[in-house]
Amino acid sequence: TTPLVIAVDGPAASGKGTVARGLAQHYGLPHLDTGKLYRAVALSLLRWGGDPESEFAALRACEDISSLMDDPELKSEMVGGIASRVSAYPAVRAALLERQREFAGSPAGAVLDGRDIGTVIAPDATAKLFVTAGIEERARRRHAELTGAGLPVHLEDILIDLRARDERDSHRSAAPLEMAADALLLDTSSMSADEALSEAIRLVEGRR
Ligand code: C5P
């Protein structure tokens, strides 16, 4: 049997991470949150004091991300914002490509979530989901997540930040966020996490 490879793409705070983790657990597959790779590059750059405006500095920052993959600071909005800048550099995307392809090609199968999994990283994935939700709902979710973690943030600021991130991720020339032609749309706006996962499993089953 061919390995089951599931690509989950979508904008920030759409629920794609929760869906991807749930699918990995359901099918017993390894999961890679590819946003963490870009966040680790951003954090490496920040710690070392490299200039995010420099593609060369960002490329250098790709060299030592392994030790940062479990750093709690990866989750911060600040790191996410810089990640969305450095992820626009073709050199950074190229530097991170191979490890993602390798993960997607693992004999056991895999679930990967990000922005370009179905379009660039795993174009032959068994099932591709494009997970989305209205921007106000996404802002509310991110707000609840951050305040729940004890970070005082304003809903308005999150909305502004998400808009800027969507704009950058969708309009960059290198691997922009877009739905693959053969992807299935999953709008989680009015779904609970459990409902979104059930629907995701139903969609994947339809492609097996
Ligand atoms: O998904 P997450 O918010 O953790 O991703 C952080 C940033 O990394 C995104 O805003 C996006 O710009 C970038 N990213 C990307 N391609 C991926 C995953 C994330 O460009 N496959």
Separation CA 43–CA 68 (nearest Å): 8
Q: Both tokens of residue 185?
A: 């749309």
The CA–CA distances, whole Å, from 144 to 106, 126, 157, 187, 191 equal 35, 33, 13, 19, 16
pLDDT at 37: 98
pLDDT at 65: 95
Is the C-alpha dihedral spanning 147, 150, 156, 161 positive or negative? negative
Q: Is the CB of 38 under 6 A from ligand 1?
A: yes
Using CA positions, which residue lies closest to atom 12 of ligand 1?
84
List the pLDDT tens digit at each of the 208 positions of the chain. Answer: 789 999 999 999 999 999 999 999 999 999 999 999 999 999 999 999 999 999 999 999 999 899 999 999 998 888 998 999 999 999 999 999 999 999 999 999 999 999 999 999 999 999 999 999 999 999 999 999 889 988 889 999 999 999 999 999 999 999 899 999 999 999 999 999 999 999 999 999 999 9
CB 37 within 8 A of CB 24: no
Q: Is the CB of 83 under 6 A from ligand 1?
A: yes
pLDDT at 50: 94
Q: How far is the CA of 69 from the centre of ligand 1 (A)?
A: 14
DSSP 3: P
pLDDT at 1: 77
Binding positions for ATP:
10-18
Q: Is the CB of 35 under 6 A from ligand 1?
A: yes
CB 126 within 8 A of CB 207: yes
Cross-sheet strand order for the sheet of 184-187: 31-33, 110-114, 5-9, 127-132, 184-187
Q: Both tokens of residue 22?
A: 């749930």
Q: Is the CB of 84 under 6 A from ligand 1?
A: yes
Q: How far is the CA of 83 from the centre of ligand 1 (A)?
A: 7
Separation CA 96–CA 131 (nearest Å): 23
Q: Is the CB of 10 under 6 A from ligand 1?
A: no
Binding positions:
10-18
pLDDT at 203: 98
This prediction has a pTM of 0.95
